[in-house]
Amino acid sequence: MFTKKEDKTWRHLQHLQDKFAKIRLRDLFAGDPLRAEKYSLQLENMHVDYSKNLINDEIMRHLFALARERGLEDKIKAMFDGKKINQTENRAVLHIALRHRQKTPIYVDGRDVMPQINTVLEKIRDFSEAVRLGRFTGYTGKKLTDIVNIGIGGSDLGPFMACEALKPYWAKDIHCHFISNIDGTACAEVLNKLNPETTLFIVASKTFTTIETLTNAKTCRHWLTEALGEHAVAKHFVALSTNKAEVEKFGINAENMFEFWDFVGGRYSMWSAIGLIIAIAIGYKNFERLLEGANAMDEHFANTPLEQNIPVVLALIGIWYNNFYNIHRYAVIPYDQYLQYLPAYLQQLDMESNGKSVTLDNKFVNYATGPVLFGGAGTNVQHSFFQLLHQGTEIVPIDFIIPAISHNEIGNHHQILLSNILAQGEALMHGKTEEEAALELEKAGKSKTEIARLKKYKSFSGNRPSTTIIFKKIDPYALGQLVAMYEHKVFTQGIIWNINSFDQFGVELGKQLALNILPEIEGTAFGVEHDSSTAALINYIKKIRK
């Protein structure tokens, strides 16, 4: 446990923020022509420019000192060594083992877990290729061309984001669909598009008891059997689970059950059997490239000094804003249509991991932890919430992400996209003073009265931070690097805040109460005590539904 009062480095960083508050980014750039070079990092074809952040050498030096005081380097090693760093659940944290490409063991409780991981990967390879090549067919012998992933949370967001991000790599005759929401519309809208004879359902639930996933799976099963009969289930359903008994009870052949492990949390699981739909869509070789990209970032994170370590640097800049500037939000803006669902995926990764208020010492925190994350695809979001980013009263640090080369080099579209992302970063940093706005209005021929009236409206405070991340192209390898970078960033911040980034008890209470309310909505239970608002809402809904 630590507090601002007890921690010398923490207090010194607060002092630095007080001193630094009036310094402007445009002045820092004017005073140091090498600033962009100094505050940029490179990993293969990934370039990270963090120079447009409210930092200098002294601030970064103390942030790195803070990380070392928190034992970050030892904690990184502990994760890679299979130690049970998920203390509340007494589990190792080994999503890094899922993409471990070196022929070396990784141990949990003295047992090498790599043989079982590699066995499942081989099973994914064989099954995905059998589907793609038409060797594994549906009940009537037709090729399975519509693949439906039924999951929720980490069993949906990761594979959905990755499939959309890698759409240029899909097989031409394969179409991917995702059902996650318990809202019946989610099922109906997907099933209305499909032919039962050519549809494969992947049911992703570790326990095979998740109410949303199993409700959706049963609806899809009924749809299938109505068309093809009970015997078709084994040829049109596979399971990503560990509950063999329930999988077989559902009618799924146990040979088509793909295992994953409790040392991998749902939001870190797209590298496991949860990624089966990714492998079917893009092919196993490309799925391997996804794993290799993540592994390259893992190796960088584990073996690079903190000062040159991309996830660590980004994490510490986030700490700087969250805990010293009291900016408890940030945005991720990919300028790539294929990455449009990346912010939604990162919302779960970041906010479910670090949205915590109890320390590893079993005490309530007295400082800010996980920030709110939002985002969307540029340039669309320039015409929605960028007004607030530029001229609102809230400062929002931004991660801009873009490939230098598009998968669709049509006319000058991508050059316009590139110019927009670079212009946004420059505009947010530089701003426009009242004097500059007045001069601009004067050049436009406005009268002195008009200039006096408009110059404040036309000014921009600037000094708004951003980081720009550029890839050569968004391919499976680059996507693996990008996602693993954010995973390690979130982990690093959890270490600084002394919280467990790998449990998610916060999602449970509402789900438990929903199970109590469901019988009342269905009319099979009465007299359960609720607060007056909830009770009145239940009664109103029951009245309407009659």
| Cβ within 8 Å of residue 209, ≥6 positions away | 243, 246
Q: Which of 172, 383, 443, 543 is catalytic?
A: 383
Q: For 248-317, what is the HEC assignment?
A: HHHCCCHHHEECCCCCCCHHHCCCCHHHHHHHHHHCHHHHHHHHHHHHHHHHHHHHCCHHHCHHHHHHHH
Q: What's the alpha-carbon Rg for the chain, to the nearest Å?
A: 26
Report DSSP letters for 433-447, one per residue: -HHHHHHHHHHTT--
Which residue has 């505050």 as its token pair? 39
Both structure tokens of 429: 């940093």
Is-catalytic flag, 129? no
Both structure tokens of 439: 């001069």
Is-catalytic flag, 383? yes
Q: Which of 15, 38, 511, 542 is catalytic?
A: 511
Residue 451 to residue 437: CA distance in whole angstroms: 8
Instruction: DSSP letter for 371, please.
Output: P
Q: State whether residue 494 is helix, strand or coil.
A: helix
- What's the angle, vertex CA 205, arms to CA 254 and CA 481, rounded to 5? 110
| Cβ within 8 Å of residue 285, ≥6 positions away | none
Listed residue (157, 92, 63) closest to 352, CA to CA: 157
Is-catalytic flag, 511? yes
Which residue has 């390259």 as its token pair? 296
Q: Which of 164, 197, 212, 352 is catalytic?
A: 352
Per the CB < 8 A criterion, the answer to whether 251 and 231 are in contact is: no
Residue 190 to residue 185: CA distance in whole angstroms: 8
Residue 283 to residue 280: CA distance in whole angstroms: 5
Listed residue (276, 272, 247) closest to 262, CA to CA: 272
| Cβ within 8 Å of residue 310, ≥6 positions away | 41, 43, 46, 48, 297, 300, 301, 304, 485
Supply the residues annotated as catalytic.
Answer: 352, 383, 511
